[in-house]
């Protein structure tokens, strides 16, 4: 039988099928953070049971953590309490825990891959919707709710019906200044935030094959923003090169054995998907969002669509523009902004910092802009320093903060003030996502860098001409 | 986590005719700091419900005493965004037992069923009828019948059936959860684990 990549991985993890019900799916790796786990651990306690496979479970602190002065006690008592609960739960159940200040600490979806926890063909879950990130390695990875976190802790399984399959193919070559983030925002703008609900997506075609692992992670990360359960890309040489010799990657004979399995992980020719979508790489421009969901994105040189051009939901559309204080038909270019946020599990990896630094190099941060540059992990932070990027950033008037989710979700101290505009490399522009009343424009690290040095929405290609001429 | 069994619910409904209601609206991140599942109902739709100084926003539906009941009716693509189960907890804790929409985000829908909130997906046309019925008379009663899998507008008698898999239906009818099931098949899981390559 012809099988898709998704079928191969899913089917090999089904412990049992429940009649007229879900599959019992075995989970290889479970990532845990402080926000969605305490109630699950409490559940275990109430049932008087222990974590079944602590060695398959990894815990980090990221959502609630401050991104400055991490050596000092966390000020917010509620956050401190949650962090402490995770530390205690990890200790009690003998789970590896990488708390604040630990060399392996960072955003859960950044540290998984960089420590070799994320592997091709694995099933990976975490109580966070952007778990889809790990699909970049050919894993089935998705976010779960706290009840499911408890299930996985208790039994290393969850119960879910198998999702439908969708393949998104993009062939061709990307234009200059078009990054993986733009590719993802482009897809979401075409499919809408619910266009892939019920599906698991495989990304295929030249554009994804040519992408770096960091770029693939950015794309898979954003799968959830079109409603997909997750997204994945078949592993290839780039994947294997990336994971080889990382701390938790199999070694020696185990590596060879694993490679034999990994080499079978691709979609068989003539496999059938429930849905297929195709785009051209050449059609994609640097993107920016103007509204309050990630599907409300346009090419940066375009104008905000008129409400009569929007299918259904005109009232919702108008409410959204009102929140943003934008008018239909407005151009995005030239709009003044107040904050720039470079970071998150979407764009907080080394490649994102390289891109940002390449554009601000030799320029100055605009005076009207507050910039938060937040590495996704300590390892990313170290690489930024080692590669000399920190000097470039400092010379341009930028500072680097310490790792964490930061302004991605405004649960910690990094909140965008009400009414202010932030160009953000994160993943959600929902009302209040970055702080009550905050207005978010999602974009790539290059667009963020262009905004950071000009103080307004700027086409990064304008600033790059000199370098390519 | 144990929850009340769900059988037949007859009640009025609260209308929220907005599309793409995301989980950051249902419960903003800054209210996710608890280590116990308590008190989330107070912060349900926090920023739509209250001004920054905590005074109620009168125009928001939860602050309008005309609308009450155990059913929340939302627009298309309800519950998109984050996987936070706290969104479902907030809905449950506020007193809703059923959420109706023409389309739900995946994770949210699963979270609801895991904690005893029934997500009922109806056709877009029927959803409009429900909103209209509430607009005509906020005291309109609806019946959610889980054994029969039907949703009825009692004033007009119009009804539509909804889908739910047999397994989840049994769980909701009996107040069971998946962990009970999984712990029962622990032996099977352990022998499966021995054969996994990773
Ligand atoms: S960076 Fe944002 S999206 Fe990623 S894990 Fe943290 S809060 Fe979630």
Section B67-91 average pLDDT: 95
Q: What pLDDT shows up at residue A312?
A: 65
Averaged over A336-363, what is the pLDDT? 98
pLDDT at A467: 47
Flag whether pLDDT at B115 surpasses 80: yes
Q: Do B106 and A227 lie within an 8 Å CB cutoff?
A: yes
For residues B70-87, average pLDDT: 94
Query: Does pLDDT of A150 surpass 80?
Result: yes
Collect all residues of chain B within an 8 Å Cβ-Cβ radius of residue A145: 83-85, 88, 107, 110-111, 114
pLDDT for B198 equals 65
Pocket lining: A344 vs ligand 1, CB cutoff 6 Å: yes
Q: What is the pTM of this model?
A: 0.95
Tell me the mean pLDDT in the region B142-157.
97
Rounded Cα–Cα distance for residues A196 and B77 (Å):
11
Instruction: Examine the predicted complex and report whether its ipTM is higher than 0.85.
Output: yes
Q: What pLDDT does B56 receive?
A: 96
pLDDT at position A465? 67
Per-residue buried b or exposed e for B74-86, using 16+ beta carbons within 10 Å of the residue's own CB: bbbbbbbbbbbbb
> Which ligand 1 atom is the nearest neighbour of the CA of A343?
1
Q: Return the ∠ at Cα A463 (arms to A219 and A210), rounded to 5°.
A: 30
B24 CA to middle of ligand 1, Å?
Answer: 13
Cα–Cα distance, A120 to A261 (Å, whole number): 9
pLDDT of residue A468 exceeding 50: no
Q: How far is the C-alpha of A193 from the C-alpha of A341, rounded, in Å?
A: 22
Q: How far is the CA of A408 from the centre of ligand 1 (A)?
A: 6
Nearest-by-Cβ selection for B107 from A21, A145, A156:
A145
B19 to chain A: which residues are within 8 Å by CB?
Answer: 312-313, 316
Report the alpha-carbon distance of residue A147 to residue A158 in Å, rounded. 10
> Distances in Å between the alpha carbon of B23 and those of A227, A322, B45, B54, B183?
13, 20, 9, 20, 30
- Rounded to whole angstroms, how far apart are CA atoms A17 and B188? 12
Contact A185, A289 (CB under 8 A): yes
The DSSP element (H or E) to which A8 belongs, if any, is: helix A5-11
- Cβ contact B114:B37 at 8 Å: no
Nearest-by-Cβ selection for A410 from B18, B29, B35: B29
Q: Compute the average pLDDT of residues B156-181.
A: 94
Digit-coded pLDDT (tens) for A220-259:
999 999 999 999 999 999 999 999 999 999 999 999 999 9
Answer yes or no: do B88 and A145 touch at CB < 8 A.
yes
B159 in contact with A, Cβ within 8 Å: no
Is B128 an interface residue toward A (CB < 8 Å)? Answer: no
pLDDT in tens, A15-70: 999 999 999 999 999 999 999 999 999 999 999 999 999 999 999 999 999 999 99
């Amino acid at each position: 039988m012809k099988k898709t990549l998704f079928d191969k991985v899913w089917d090999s993890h089904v412990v049992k099928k429940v009649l007229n019900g879900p599959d019992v799916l075995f989970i290889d790796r479970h990532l845990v953070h402080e926000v969605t786990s305490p109630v699950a651990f409490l559940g275990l306690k109430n049932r008087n049971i222990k974590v079944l496979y602590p060695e398959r479970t990894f815990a980090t602190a990221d959502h609630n953590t401050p991104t400055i002065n991490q050596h000092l006690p966390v000020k917010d008592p509620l956050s401190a309490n949650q962090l402490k609960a995770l530390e205690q739960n990890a200790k009690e159940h003998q789970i590896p825990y990488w708390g604040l200040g630990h060399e392996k600490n960072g955003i859960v979806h950044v540290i998984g891959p960089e420590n070799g926890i994320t592997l091709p063909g694995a099933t990976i879950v975490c109580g966070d919707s952007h778990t889809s990130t790990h699909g970049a390695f050919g894993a089935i990875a998705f976010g779960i709710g706290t009840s499911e976190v408890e299930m996985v802790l208790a039994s290393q399984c969850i119960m879910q019906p198998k999702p439908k399959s969708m393949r998104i193919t993009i062939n061709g070559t990307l234009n200059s200044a078009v990054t993986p983030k733009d590719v993802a925002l482009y897809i979401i703008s075409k499919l809408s935030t619910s266009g892939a609900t019920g599906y698991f997506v495989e990304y295929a075609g030249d554009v994804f094959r040519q992408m770096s692992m960091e770029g693939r992670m950015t794309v898979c990360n954003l799968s959830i923003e079109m409603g997909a359960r997750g997204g994945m890309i078949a592993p290839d040489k780039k994947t294997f090169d990336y994971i080889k010799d990382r701390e938790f990657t199999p070694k020696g004979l185990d590596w060879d054995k694993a490679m034999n399995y990994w080499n079978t992980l691709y979609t068989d020719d003539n496999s059938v998907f429930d849905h297929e979508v195709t785009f051209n790489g050449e059609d994609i421009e640097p993107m920016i969002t103007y509204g309050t969901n990630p599907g409300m994105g346009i090419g940066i040189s375009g104008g905000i669509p008129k409400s009569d051009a929007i299918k259904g939901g005109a009232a919702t559309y108008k409410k959204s523009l009102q929140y943003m204080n934008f008018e239909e038909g407005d151009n995005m270019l030239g709009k003044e902004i107040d904050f720039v946020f470079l970071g998150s599990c979407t764009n907080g990896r080394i490649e994102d910092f390289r891109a940002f630094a390449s554009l601000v190099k030799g320029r100055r941060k605009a005076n009207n802009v507050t910039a938060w540059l937040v590495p996704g992990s300590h390892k990313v932070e170290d690489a930024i320093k080692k590669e000399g990027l920190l000097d470039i950033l400092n010379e341009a008037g930028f500072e680097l903060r310490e790792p964490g989710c930061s302004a991605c979700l405004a649960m910690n101290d990094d909140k965008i003030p009400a009414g202010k505009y932030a160009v953000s490399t994160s993943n959600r522009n929902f009302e209040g996502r970055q702080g009550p009343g905050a207005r978010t424009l999602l974009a790539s690290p290059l667009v963020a860098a262009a905004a950071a040095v000009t103080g307004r929405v700027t086409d990064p290609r304008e600033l790059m001409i000199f370098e390519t001429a | 986590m144990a929850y009340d069994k769900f059988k037949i619910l007859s009640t009025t409904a609260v209308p929220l005719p907005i599309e793409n209601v995301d989980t950051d609206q249902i419960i903003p991140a800054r209210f996710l700091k608890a280590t116990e599942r308590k008190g989330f109902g107070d912060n349900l739709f926090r920023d739509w419900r209250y001004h920054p100084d905590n005074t109620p926003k009168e125009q928001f539906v939860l602050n309008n005493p005309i609308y009450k009941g155990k059913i929340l009716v939302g627009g298309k693509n309800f519950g998109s965004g984050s996987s936070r189960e706290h969104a479902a907890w907030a809905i449950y804790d506020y007193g809703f037992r059923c959420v109706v929409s023409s389309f739900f985000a995946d994770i949210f829908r699963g979270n609801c069923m895991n904690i005893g909130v029934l997500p009922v997906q109806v056709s877009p046309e029927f959803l409009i009828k429900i909103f209209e019925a509430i607009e005509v008379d906020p005291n309109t009663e609806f019946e959610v019948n889980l054994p029969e899998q039907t949703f009825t507008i009692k004033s007009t008698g119009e009804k539509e059936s909804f889908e739910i898999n047999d397994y989840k239906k049994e769980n909701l009818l009996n107040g069971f959860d998946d962990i009970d099931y999984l712990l029962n098949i622990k032996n099977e899981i352990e022998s499966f684990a021995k054969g996994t390559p990773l």
